[in-house]
């Protein structure tokens, strides 16, 4: 699985831009890989994501290790497509058939998947959720919705920790939660899900009390103490966004490889 991908404070690269610029960049990446049919464009976008990771002070080794499941799944997608498509020129025939169309479709699928995941992870690593919530409020979205985002991010590490503790408790008490058959599955769900659910509900109650206890929801609007200002780095990101859109449009129009 993808291990511990969460925002941490930084001062380089995309850490310096406003959260809305990061949203824009993420949209640019997604549009580029979903609209453009070109493999080269997708490869370029993937390399751009890796480059931005480096510029933002993230370690590529750590990133690859955290996303090895995603990379592996990308390879599986490539192989599955390459071996399942029979149309096109046959390149290899050894009991199984590999065609040029199969390879292209596999590469398309794998790169699309890799870019969507890697750019999303890049976004999570460099975007402060609190600032993002404020930015969303700043553009006029009601604060009740923007806080859903912050709260969900607060709950991710909590559930990760709780899950581990519950599994440890099962181990200490000698409970076998291996899944053998439907009964085993049900028992595993009951022994793991119920304690997690109880923890989650208790936490939700406390946080709700804490928020209402500080007048959350008293007025239709609230002050945004930290206002985001558009800076030079944000213009650079905007330029990159436009470049991504233009490249995608050109690749589509002229059917680049």
Binding site for other proteins (CB under 8 A): 7-9, 128-130, 147, 150-151, 153-154, 157, 162, 165-166, 168-175, 190-191, 194-195, 198-199, 202-203, 205-219, 221-227
- The smaller minimum CB distance to other proteins, of residues 95 and 183, is found at 183
User: Residue 124 Cβ, how far from other proteins at the closest point, in Å?
Assistant: 13
User: Residue 97 Cβ, how far from other proteins at the closest point, in Å?
Assistant: 48
Residue 67 CB neighbour total at 10 angstroms: 19
User: What single DSSP character describes residue 88?
Assistant: S
Residue position matching structure tokens 């993808």: 2
Inter-residue contact 126 to 15 (CB < 8 Å): yes
Residue position matching structure tokens 């009951």: 190
User: Residue 218 Cβ, how far from other proteins at the closest point, in Å?
Assistant: 4
- The smaller minimum CB distance to other proteins, of residues 95 and 174, is found at 174
- The smaller minimum CB distance to other proteins, of residues 197 and 250, is found at 197
User: Residue 72 Cβ, how far from other proteins at the closest point, in Å?
Assistant: 24
User: Residue 166 Cβ, how far from other proteins at the closest point, in Å?
Assistant: 5
Inter-residue contact 83 to 102 (CB < 8 Å): yes
User: Residue 242 Cβ, how far from other proteins at the closest point, in Å?
Assistant: 31
Ordered DSSP codes for 154-179: HHHHHHHHHHHHHHHHHHHTT-----
Q: Which long-range contacts (CB under 8 A, 24 or more apart) does 229-237 make?
A: 229/18, 230/18, 230/21, 231/16, 231/17, 231/18, 233/16, 233/17, 233/21, 234/17, 234/18, 234/21, 236/17, 237/14, 237/17, 237/21, 237/22, 237/24, 237/25
Q: By 3-state DSSP, what share of the chain in percent is helix, strand and coil, each rounded to 5?
A: 70, 5, 25
């Amino acid at each position: 699985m993808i291990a511990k991908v969460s925002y941490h404070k930084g001062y380089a690269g995309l850490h310096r831009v406003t959260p809305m610029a990061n949203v824009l960049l993420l949209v640019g990446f997604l549009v580029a890989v979903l609209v453009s049919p070109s493999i080269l464009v997708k490869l370029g976008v993937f390399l751009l994501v890796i480059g931005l990771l480096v510029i933002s002070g993230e370690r590529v080794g750590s990133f690859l290790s955290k996303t090895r499941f995603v990379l592996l799944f990308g390879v599986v997608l490539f192989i599955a497509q390459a071996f399942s498509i029979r149309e096109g020129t046959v390149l290899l025939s050894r009991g199984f058939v590999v065609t040029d169309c199969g390879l292209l479709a596999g590469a398309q699928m794998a790169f699309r998947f890799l870019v969507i995941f890697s750019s999303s992870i890049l976004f999570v690593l460099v975007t402060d959720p609190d600032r993002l919530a404020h930015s969303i409020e700043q553009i006029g979205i009601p604060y009740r919705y923007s806080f859903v985002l912050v709260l969900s991010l607060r709950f991710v590490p909590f559930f990760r920790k709780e899950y581990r503790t519950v599994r440890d408790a099962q181990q200490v008490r000698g409970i076998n939660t291996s899944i053998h058959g439907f009964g085993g599955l049900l028992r595993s769900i009951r022994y793991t899900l119920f304690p997690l659910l109880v923890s989650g509900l208790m936490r939700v109650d406390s946080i709700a009390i804490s928020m209402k206890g500080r007048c959350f929801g008293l007025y239709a609007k609230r002050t945004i103490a930290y206002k985001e200002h558009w800076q030079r780095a944000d213009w650079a990101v905007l330029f990159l966004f436009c470049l991504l859109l233009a490249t995608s449009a050109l690749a589509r129009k002229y059917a680049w490889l």
